[in-house]
Amino acid sequence: MGRYLLRRLLQLVPVFIGTTFLIYWLVWAVPGDPFAGKCGERRCPDQYIAFMTEKYHLDQNVFVQYGNYMKNLLQGDFGQTFSQRDIGDIIATAYPNTLKLALVALVIEAVIGLGAGVLTGLRRNGFLDNLVLISTLFLIALPVFVVGFVLQWLLGVQWQIIKPTVSSEMRWSELIVPGFVLGSASVAYIARVARTSIAENRRADYVRTAIAKGLPMRRVVGVHLLRNSLIPVVTLLGTDLGALMGGAIVTEGIFGINGIGRAVYRAIVTKESATVVGIVVVLVLVYLVMNLVVDLLYAALDPRIRYE
């Protein structure tokens, strides 16, 4: 287990360097003036150009630049915006909000998606099965902003069950509807994957054995069947956390949540390259860490992987 973990951790290093370099290169080192259009409509102030050139060694080649950026990054320095704001601060205020939203979405996905998947996988072709199949298809087909605006209007404006926007305190209860909106497509995928997985394993020999042992049905399903069926679902859930955080732009916009999506959107609109790079680097980190968590969960769920 220790060696497995170590190997997986070491594998993260080249992936992290590769992806972040690509992002850095795309934003800063494309041919032409690196400051063209970087400071909004105006020309960049000379002192900013001088400052950035010195700080990021822009007069040197891209590898040196990247190396220096990484060196600062490892010391927790994300650099500054052109208005001299610390990018680290922007990230530190925005990330927790998005993480909170994404976690709510993840829990909703896990509970609703898995629940619907298990119920329909056990009883295929029933009323519930058709209901879930149709409603999930609906959710997959609808763009997130449609789901978001419709729910906001319906629940927040028409029926006034929720407040249309989330307050700055980010209470968990306020995040349920935005969380559902953010996770709506994923909920549908989780439900479908879980349904297929359960239905496939339902006929597996070891499930028959568990029944033949005279175990109660809830134990057959809850212990023997579920543990095996969870493996593909866990992959989907784990990798989804990264996607949820990256994909939160629309949801955060609709519900007025001050998160990473809005920050990156604002940075793109105002052409704040350093901010974009910083936020994306952290997103990459989340992806990588979640992938590692998925791999470890894999090994925990399926012992055959541990000893490969």
Partner 1 sequence: MSDILVSEQSAPGPGGSGRPSGRLLEVDDLRVEFRTRDGVAKVINGVTYHVDAGETLAVLGESGSGKSVTAQTIMGILDTPPGFVTGGQVRFHGKDMLGMSAEERRRIRGEGIAMIFQDALSALNPVFTVGFQIAEQFRVRRGMGRAEAKKRAIEMLDQVKIPNAKGRFNNYPHQFSGGMRQRAMIAMSLALDPEVLIADEPTTALDVTVQAQIMDLLAELQRERQMGMILITHDLGVVADVADRIAVMYAGRIVEEADVYDLYAKPAHPYTIGLIDSIPRLDEKGQQLRTIKGLPPNLMNIPPGCPFNPRCPMAQPVCREKVPPLLQVGTARASACHFAEELVNRV
List of residues contacting partner 1 (CB under 8 A) = 203-206, 208-217, 219, 224, 227-228, 301-304, 307
The β-bridge partners of 42 are none
- Give min distance, CB of 186 to partner 1, in A: 25
Task: Write the DSSP symbol of residue 86.
Answer: B
- Give min distance, CB of 279 to partner 1, in A: 39
- Give min distance, CB of 215 to partner 1, in A: 6
Q: Which is nearer to partner 1, 224 or 262 (CB)?
A: 224
Q: Which is nearer to partner 1, 129 or 174 (CB)?
A: 129
- Asked if 241 and 179 touch (Cβ cutoff 8 Å), the reply is no
Q: Which is nearer to partner 1, 125 or 160 (CB)?
A: 125
Q: How many residues does the chain have?
A: 308
The token duo for 21 is: 């370099």
- Give min distance, CB of 67 to partner 1, in A: 45
Which of 263, 243, 254 is CA-nearest to residue 95?
Answer: 263
The β-bridge partners of 86 are 80
The token duo for 38 is: 């970087």
Q: Which is nearer to partner 1, 31 or 214 (CB)?
A: 214
- Give min distance, CB of 107 to partner 1, in A: 24
- Asked if 58 and 52 touch (Cβ cutoff 8 Å), the reply is yes
- Asked if 114 and 233 touch (Cβ cutoff 8 Å), the reply is yes
CA 160 to chain CA centroid, Å, is 29
Q: Which is nearer to partner 1, 46 or 205 (CB)?
A: 205
The token duo for 272 is: 């704040």
- Give min distance, CB of 131 to partner 1, in A: 21
Q: Which is nearer to partner 1, 3 or 304 (CB)?
A: 304
- Asked if 28 and 277 touch (Cβ cutoff 8 Å), the reply is yes
